Amino acid sequence: MTTAPRAMKREFTMFSALSVAFAFVSPIVAVYSVLGVGLSASGPAFVWGGLALYAGQFILVLTLCILASKWADSGGIYQWSRRLLGHRYGWFASWVYICTLLITLPAVAYAGAVLIPPIFDVPAAGHGVVTWLAVGLLAFSTIVNLAGRTFIKIIVVGVIVAEAIGSVGVAVWLLFFDRHQGLDYLSPASLGEYSGLFFSAPFIMAIAFSSYFAIGFESASSIAEEVRRPKRAVPKAMVVSFFAIMIIVMLSTLAFTLAVPDEQFLQDPENAADPAVAILAMSFPAPVFRGILALFVIAFAASLMTIQITVSRLVWATARNGELPFARTLTRLSGETGLPRTAVLVTAVIAALLFLPFQNEGIQMALISFSSVGFFISFLFPVLGLAIARVRGSWRDEPGLFLGRAGAAVSWLALFWLLFQIVNVAWPRETGGGWAADWSTIIGVGVVAVLGVLVEAWVHRKRLHAVRTGTTIVVFERDESEDDADELDAAPSVRA
């Protein structure tokens, strides 16, 4: 009788980690999800907010790469936070990130499902039909994740092809053959006059609404234990995927913005809600338009798949330390290569159930706003932990780490950037939907925080009981020797 594997097999390469990060929030998903609200709130100069966002996020990427080059654990944000400031701090990082990812799953699934009916020339589908289509996309993502890493690699290659045509190809076509505006259309004057508080200024709002453009790069760290030579591969994958996404997103945003025919176009509520789709329908023949939408759906499905990879590995890694209910069940690995299929199924069921209270007309933007601030709060845990560790003197910038000694200045800048961006994204701006809609992001963060305190109190009682009885809540310890062995094996080839 064969015993169940205790560790996942290293079947991913640096390119695999890069592809996972790229597909997590693909350029197609990023642009389609927020272009409408960005243009409505900040006008054509919305693109400048995106550039400012990428400047701040680049500093963050470099900081997280420092941590990824030191610790090669699955569930990066959780593991880095835990190692920096202890189990309780790491647990809250894991809780916020898990909740963020679980809410992101139905948000992305629903946004992708909206595109399916027009592919088959079906008139505007009702909310119920779109919800079932979204559940179908989530089911497809789950099946691929259960099938194995080979199938994941194939799908990820498919999304790169879809992006090459659906993002780059369409953007180039629009810029050269369907451009209706000159570059003066992007003048900062289109941001409107400064009015109200600082966080109500159009440019600051543009940075907030473009936040969905630059998340997902950290997902490369979620599969670190499945990647060969992770301390080298994961940081490289994060940086390369960040720049790839940035270039394609800014190209697509520029192309769609300059393809707006006139001022009246965005004043039409239907066009303003989905300007990307409206522009595509106007610019391409019906068969080509439906083919492009099919590429969009592929990108959304791949994004779902990689988000589910990230959250399932995070759940598995947290349970491995005994810090989730039903930990022993959640840490089960199946198959010869060791896949966390139980964690994949559990996250799929929870995400599907979230359609019941959360998915209804008009809430899509609230979900995106909450998931955006959730990502930034999740990033804050390891970055703040690193800052505290530096002050305490428990952190050393070792020569072999990413950036080396230069990492100190970069990590402090990343901390200030995150604090600004969390306030910026969560700021209760007027939406026209009443106070509940205006404050929905802060309310959501509060609910997650209260639930987290309750669940962590249960976990903490388990820790105290383990200390009193001389036992442990850890399901099993990870053998980290393979990480350094991989790096030593790679060293001669690097020098060569």
Q: What are the Cα distances from residue 398, in Å, to 60, 78, 445?
A: 19, 22, 36
Residue 355 has pLDDT above 70, yes or no: yes
If one compares 352 and 74, the residue with the highest pLDDT of the two is 352
What mean pLDDT comes out for the span 137-144?
A: 90
Map tokens 């300059």 to a residue: 258
If one compares 227 and 123, the residue with the highest pLDDT of the two is 227
Question: In sequence order, what are the residues at sequence separation of 6 or more whose Cβ sits closer than 8 angstroms to the Cβ of residue 319?
Answer: 326, 327, 328, 330, 331, 343, 475
pLDDT at 496: 32
Residue 75 has pLDDT above 60, yes or no: yes
Is residue 327 very low, low, confident or very high in pLDDT (cuts 50, 70, 90)? confident
pLDDT at 23: 80
pLDDT at 31: 86
Residue 151 has pLDDT above 80, yes or no: no
Range with lowest mean pLDDT among 97-111, 168-182, 429-443, 450-464: 429-443
pLDDT at 127: 77
Per-residue pLDDT of 222-272, as tens digits, reads: 878 778 888 888 899 889 989 988 999 999 999 999 999 887 888 888 787
pLDDT at 419: 95
Per-residue pLDDT of 406-462, as tens digits, reads: 888 999 999 999 999 999 988 887 766 666 667 878 888 898 999 999 988 888 888
- Dihedrals φ, ψ of 417, to 5°? -60, -45
pLDDT at 2: 45
Residue 1 has pLDDT above 70, yes or no: no
Average pLDDT, rounded, for the chain: 82
Is residue 153 very low, low, confident or very high in pLDDT (cuts 50, 70, 90)? confident
If one compares 263 and 311, the residue with the highest pLDDT of the two is 311
Say if residues 355 and 126 touch (Cβ distance below 8 Å).
no
What mean pLDDT comes out for the span 84-105?
A: 92
- Write down all domains in the chain, each with its CATH number in brackets: 14-495 (1.20.1740.10)
pLDDT at 339: 80
* DSSP 3-state of 284: coil
pTM (2 d.p.): 0.88
Residue 378 has pLDDT above 80, yes or no: yes
pLDDT at 337: 66
Residue 129 has pLDDT above 50, yes or no: yes
CA distance 349 to 341: 12
* DSSP 3-state of 334: strand
Map tokens 């522009």 to a residue: 279
pLDDT at 464: 82
Say if residues 318 and 98 touch (Cβ distance below 8 Å).
yes
* Paired strand residues for 12: 227
Per-residue pLDDT of 10-65, as tens digits, reads: 767 777 787 788 888 788 888 888 888 888 877 888 889 899 999 999 999 999 99
